C-alpha cells in the first residue's frame, strides 16, 4: 500500500487544493493576529507602567497600598488584555477580508 495519498478525481484534487489554501490562509490570519497583539501588548505595557510606577512613588495612598506585586499585576493584566483583544479583532478582520476575496473569486469563476 502506498504511503502517498493520491486524489483520483478532479473533484478530490480541487478539494485538497482548496483545503491547503484554506490552511495557509488560516495560518497567515493567525500570524497577523499574533504580531498585532504583540505590538499592542508592548504599547499597553509602556502606557500602563509609566503612570503606575510614578503613582506608586508619588501618591501617598498608592505608596501605602500598591506593593511591587500589585504594580506588576496591574501592568501585566492590561498588557494581556490588549494582546488578546487586538489579536482577536485582527484575526476576525483578516478572515472576513479573505472570506470576501474567496467568495468574489468563486463567483467570477
**Domain map of the chain by residue range?**
33-108
78-83: long-range contacts, CB 8 A cutoff, minimum separation 24: 78/44, 78/45, 78/47, 78/48, 79/41, 79/42, 79/44, 79/45, 79/48, 80/41, 81/44, 82/37, 82/40, 82/41, 82/43, 82/44, 83/37, 83/38, 83/40, 83/41, 83/44
DSSP three-state, residue 12? helix
Q: What is the pLDDT of residues 67-91, one digit of tens each?
A: 999 999 999 999 999 999 999 999 9
pTM, rounded to two decimals: 0.73
Q: Read off the pLDDT band of 105 (50, 70, 90).
A: low
**Greatest C-alpha distance within the chain:** 77
Q: What is the pLDDT of residues 16-60, one digit of tens each?
A: 767 888 888 889 889 999 999 999 999 999 999 999 999 999 999
Amino acid at each position: 500500500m502506498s504511503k502517498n495519498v493520491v486524489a483520483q478525481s478532479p473533484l478530490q484534487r480541487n478539494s485538497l487544493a482548496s483545503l491547503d489554501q484554506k490552511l495557509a490562509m488560516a495560518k497567515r490570519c493567525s500570524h497577523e493576529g499574533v504580531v498585532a497583539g504583540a505590538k499592542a501588548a508592548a504599547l499597553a505595557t509602556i502606557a500602563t507602567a509609566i503612570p503606575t510606577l510614578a503613582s506608586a512613588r508619588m501618591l501617598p495612598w498608592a505608596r501605602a497600598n500598591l506593593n511591587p506585586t500589585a504594580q506588576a499585576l496591574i501592568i501585566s493584566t492590561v498588557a494581556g488584555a490588549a494582546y488578546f483583544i487586538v489579536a482577536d479583532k485582527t484575526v476576525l478582520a483578516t478572515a472576513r477580508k479573505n472570506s470576501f476575496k474567496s467568495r468574489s473569486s468563486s463567483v467570477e469563476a
